[in-house]
Structure 1
Amino acid sequence: MKFLLLPLVLLLASAHVSFSQSIVRFKSSKPYAVLSFVETASGQEVHSSTFKRYIDTSALKNDTAFSSLLNDFGRINLSYNYSREEYPAGRRQTRSTYDLLIIAAVRSNSLREFQENSIGILSNNAHQQLFRVLEKAEPYYDRFVWAGSERSVKDQIIGLKKYEAKANEMFRAFRHLYNSTWPDAIPFDVSVFPIPAVSGNTSATPHANSLCVAVLTGNKDLPGTMGVTLHEICHVLYDEQSGGFQHELDAMFKTSRSPFAAITYGFFDEAMATALGNGYAYKHFTGQIDTTSWYNNPYIDGFAHAIYPLVEDYLAKKKTIDSSFVAQSIELFGKAYPRSLSDYSILLNNMFLYADAEASQDRARLKKIIGKYFSSSRYNFSSPVLHEYSIGYIKKSKATQLIIVDQNQDSTISELKKTLPELEALLKDQRSPNYVVSFFDNTKRPVVLIRVTSEAFLDKAFSLLKQKQYVDPATPLFIVE
């Protein structure tokens, strides 16, 4: 079972630090299942390529009413961002109303209850539109997914509950390692939703204490599902470190003299969750280490394997992440991946993305094109490209700068030259309407600028970046044909 994220179990602790109830509560949430079904079918949020393929090859592909429903869904913006500025910029400052919607869905047992629990998150008009779509989509979900999956989901939930006691132990140990503030009194609700398939890929996502875990209806690897669940809980524990400790950890990476420190920092959250959930937890549940890959990204998988002995040692000694742990992690990553500093798949994993796409459907298409070639664990999006906030980020943000110029190309690039003076020489005498220029600026920060005249050329540009793999200072510009 690959590339699953893990939720964790939490119990009420007594004065003797013993748990009286599980921290993980497995359930089947119909509202979330219907929402994820519509998201996947529309391509807005593809929870699993296996699930998407199942939907696309079913009788739904020729159902015009269902297609119209998906078009209506695509016009609803579910995500409005807000910031928690008390956290360091290198951590996840930005949160979204989308998380609040998912939390409401997981906690609800019916669409009606979900509708009531989510009032106020979106505008009243968008809220009504969303539930008109979900109510019409529910019969499709019942017929094409739930009818043949119900028994498997219920059986798997029964089986997963048998691991709760061991999960409680690991939650406590992981929380101490992370130095996290998550309280014993707040358990995690894990919404298990089905993908009608015997084999394939699944997904899992954390939303505070509401975790969403997809399972294959033919799944027999319950320890693997538990590992994924704990993986997701680790993300929550990392997010919920105190502001003070986040700043301390942030400083440990940023004061390192290693050129690999920033890249290691970008992968640290995912690699830790993978080492703990897919590595340590799986071993704890089964008595043996999983000898297959733990994550479908080679860098994250390799980094997680590299730090696994360190993680195991700290857990055994009941130690908390400290400067020595961070320094050793950076050293291990640098030894494993000496060319990572110029690898596009690394550079685009943690980035600031700028584009003129402001409508939700335009942003979704952009995200889909990028996701076709590169995965990004963290990115901040700003539009329009020349907005004062965007220019401010381009001037000051430390992460990779990915700038997509597909509107008002000449005037936009002319203005960008004022902020990125390297462009003047790199684009001298350049006449092609479609190109990519990538370089390291005078602060050694990676910058990738893509100028295209259509969505088709944008897709070709990312395909070329994937093929080239590394930034090459000798040939910083290449034409997209």
Structure 2
Amino acid sequence: MKKIFLLAFLFLTSLIFGQKTTFTIKYSEQLAVYLFIENLSEHYPENVFKTEFQKSKYNTEKYKNIISKFDKLIVDYSFRFDEYPYGSKKNMQTNDLLKKNLIETNNLNDFKLRSAGFIPIQTLSDLASCIAEFTDVYNELIYNPNKEKFEKQLRDMIKYSSDNNIVGYFETGLLFYNSSWDNAIPFVSAFYPLPNSKGFTAQAFCNNFISAVQVDLNSNKDLFSVMMHETYHIVYDEQSFEVKTEIDTYFKENKSKCSNYAYQLMNEVLATALGNGYVYEKLDGKLDAGDWYNRKYINLMAKKIYPIVKEYIDQKKAMDKNFIDTYIKLYEENFPNWIDELDNIMTYRYVLSENETDLRGISKLFRYRSRTEFDSEITENSINKMKDTPLTKVVIISKNTAEKVKLLKNKFPELKEWKSNANKEFANKFFLNDKSQLIIINQKESAIETLFKLIK
């Protein structure tokens, strides 16, 4: 217990947003241990934490059983903010709330008290027990061998943040996004060491940013530009209901056939333009000449919109209808074919299929996904729910084809002239009036991967 308070004393710093809201950088042992166990899961790919554990004296049945117990805990529930325009506000995840509470409490008893009600009490108790069992293991294998380097690195990050007024970029985001923040709520960033690695991880949620940082990191500008990228997702998410409704209206009223898929892409594009473009340029003195994001749609569109973003920031203007219309126009003029590229449109998908193995096949084909929904029935009700979303709509029929096609024709007037042969496999794509794509596949014997290749 003494060690936790010492770390908090040594590595907790407060900077000021507008002299009111605090920006805190710290190390959280509880969070680090939780994420360490998560990385040991058999469902996780090979990683440095798993490597260190597997070659250690702790790679025994006792600890493997604890990992297995941890794997079986169901801690991720979610709920939507249904009054907001679809997809404009992130679903609340209990897993995020648990990580938030691990960061913001000083011991596991406080963590359990604050987290009671998010998940079942027995699950919460078991989770805390797993963290307690692995705390000494984590410290011996990961933290203590990297302690000196990491603690110096954390001090350097705190100084860099202060010297470069990183907090000011938060205010820049609030103004540009026309968003708001309650000054009584601090923004807390938690870092933990990532040994024997290059780069760092990044995730933001609620009022938190978390990152595993390589212990030999030598470029704080990269780290902090990515940190602000993730933070801007939160700023965007915290736009008021009125602002989000206005933005949704601007996109829906725009006549461009690209407006829907431009909208789906915008959140990531703007976070990239601001974080990897604007913030990086300010920290380094020049724009990053390389890719800003490792996905072409986001990278290219972020670079295309960047001059407009910078103009709005320099003029202290919030994004408005003119900005949205300009953004859509740039998308349509420069990348008109993107609305037909499966790799793009399948990032946002709603799949109806009575064969759940199809979902795994689609996930294998299109690994990158931003928003996805699935229903295992093809009924009037499930089609209605799918139709009400702006996502790419995928219907995979494997039985009673004629009946299912009739249902679809009744719901989508765009299919009125479509003729299909229920006895043969097919894969067709239709552009709908809501400017999303509808993909209908009739599956007899072929794998779903094969059928997707038939789509023109």
Deviation at 1:249, TM superposition (A): 0.7
Deviation at 1:350, TM superposition (A): 2.0
Query: Aligned partner of 2:437: which letter?
Result: P
Contact 1:352 1:402 in 2 (8 A): yes
Determine if the alignment matches structure 1 residue 376 to structure 2 residue 369. Answer: yes
Deviation at 1:439, TM superposition (A): 1.6
Determine if the alignment matches structure 1 residue 397 to structure 2 residue 389. Answer: yes
SS in 2 for 1:78: coil
Aligned match for 1:439, one of 420, 429, 435: 429
Taking the aligned partners of 2:244 and 2:198, their CA distance within structure 1 comes to 39
Give the unaligned 5+ runs of structure 2. 1-13, 410-414
Determine if the alignment matches structure 1 residue 313 to structure 2 residue 311. Answer: yes
Contact 1:160 1:222 in 2 (8 A): yes
Alignment of structure 1 residues 97-246 onto 2, 5 Å: 97-162=94-159, 163-164=161-162, 166-200=165-199, 202-246=200-244
Query: Aligned partner of 2:399: which letter?
Result: D
Equivalent position of 1:346 in the other structure: 344
Deviations 1:290-316 (A, max 9, x none): 222111111111111111111111111
Which 10-residue stretch deviates more, 110-119 or 325-334? 110-119
Taking the aligned partners of 2:223 and 2:229, their CA distance within structure 1 comes to 10
Q: CA 1:43 to 1:390, structure 2 compared with 1: closer, same or farther past 3 Å?
A: farther
Deviation at 1:333, TM superposition (A): 2.1
Taking the aligned partners of 1:116 and 1:299, their CA distance within structure 2 comes to 44
Contact 1:148 1:196 in 2 (8 A): no
Taking the aligned partners of 1:41 and 1:303, their CA distance within structure 2 comes to 37
Q: CA 1:43 to 1:303, structure 2 compared with 1: closer, same or farther past 3 Å?
A: farther
Compare relative contact order (CA 8 Å, sep 6+) and give the higher one, 1 or 2.
1
SS in 2 for 1:420: helix
SS in 2 for 1:235: helix
Taking the aligned partners of 2:152 and 2:371, their CA distance within structure 1 comes to 35
Query: Aligned partner of 1:311: which letter?
Result: V
Contact 1:275 1:311 in 2 (8 A): yes
Deviation at 1:199, TM superposition (A): 1.6
Taking the aligned partners of 2:155 and 2:286, their CA distance within structure 1 comes to 23
Deviation at 1:268, TM superposition (A): 0.8
Which 10-residue stretch deviates more, 278-287 or 149-158? 149-158
Deviations 1:426-480 (A, max 9, x none): 562237xxxx8352265463234678899x967xx29x85xx5xx843xxxxxxx
Question: Based on CA coordinates, which of the two structures has the bigger radius of gyration?
Answer: 2
Contact 1:203 1:213 in 2 (8 A): yes
Equivalent position of 1:78 in the other structure: 75
Equivalent position of 2:292 in the other structure: 294
Deviations 1:311-334 (A, max 9, x none): 111111111101111111112222
Taking the aligned partners of 2:116 and 2:387, their CA distance within structure 1 comes to 39
Equivalent position of 2:47 in the other structure: 53
Alignment of structure 1 residues 250-289 onto 2, 5 Å: 250-289=248-287
Deviation at 1:36, TM superposition (A): 2.0
Equivalent position of 2:89 in the other structure: 92
Taking the aligned partners of 1:310 and 1:357, their CA distance within structure 2 comes to 46
Determine if the alignment matches structure 1 residue 410 to structure 2 residue 404. Answer: no
Which TM-score applies when normalising by structure 2?
0.82
SS in 2 for 1:219: coil
Contact 1:83 1:94 in 2 (8 A): yes
Alignment of structure 1 residues 464-479 onto 2, 5 Å: 472-473=455-456
Taking the aligned partners of 1:263 and 1:356, their CA distance within structure 2 comes to 27
Q: CA 1:59 to 1:43, structure 2 compared with 1: closer, same or farther past 3 Å?
A: closer
Q: CA 1:212 to 1:59, structure 2 compared with 1: closer, same or farther past 3 Å?
A: closer
Taking the aligned partners of 1:388 and 1:120, their CA distance within structure 2 comes to 36
Contact 2:17 2:167 in 1 (8 A): no
Deviation at 1:368, TM superposition (A): 11
Q: CA 1:376 to 1:394, structure 2 compared with 1: closer, same or farther past 3 Å?
A: same
Query: Aligned partner of 1:100: which letter?
Result: L
Q: CA 1:120 to 1:258, structure 2 compared with 1: closer, same or farther past 3 Å?
A: same
Give the unaligned 5+ runs of structure 1. 1-8, 14-18, 474-481
Equivalent position of 2:424 in the other structure: 430
Equivalent position of 2:16 in the other structure: 11
SS in 2 for 1:270: helix
Deviation at 1:111, TM superposition (A): 3.4
Q: CA RMSD in A?
A: 3.5
SS in 2 for 1:339: helix
Taking the aligned partners of 1:190 and 1:242, their CA distance within structure 2 comes to 24
Contact 1:88 1:247 in 2 (8 A): yes
Q: CA 1:368 to 1:110, structure 2 compared with 1: closer, same or farther past 3 Å?
A: farther
